[in-house]
Amino acid sequence: VKSLLIDQSKIDKFQMNDKEFVSFEMLSNPPMLSGFYERHFDGLLIDCYIKHNKSKYTNNDGVEYRIENQIYLFVNGDYFKFSSKKSLYNLLPEYKSLLKRFLKQNSLALSKKKLNDLPRILKYCDELLSDEA
């Protein structure tokens, strides 16, 4: 079977399994490494991009591959690295108590490893910022 080598410089974005991936070059002022990023959330004032990575680790049991995603939030024209709910609290300190209450009332988890609830939480943050504007 012949392999297909794609010229990535000619691709702006693509979709796979209902997820959109955009090229690093399509983002405005990105501080991240080049490549493609999943557009995980696209709000009015907040966007979320994920660089999916796997790292190879060798131990006594053999080789292990670990998922080490890098998550970036785009807020007010700047990118911020996301690693935990604390990073979100630091990004939006004026809404910390509202965010804590929202997470607790809706039993939502917020961490780098649990991304299922992230769009719902970011939608709430986007609404908070939109109400302020």
Residue pLDDT, tens place only, 70-87? 899 999 888 899 988 899
Model confidence pLDDT, tens digit, residues 104-113: 999 988 777 7
Q: Which residue has the higher pLDDT, 130 or 25?
A: 130
Average pLDDT for the chain: 85
Q: Please state the separation of Cα 74 from the chain's center in Å.
A: 9
Mean pLDDT over 12-35 rounds to 78
pTM: 0.80
Alpha-carbon dihedral of residues 92, 29, 36, 103, nearest 10 degrees? 0
**Residues listed for the chain:** 133
Res. 59 pLDDT band, cuts 50 70 90: confident
CA distance 115 to 88: 14
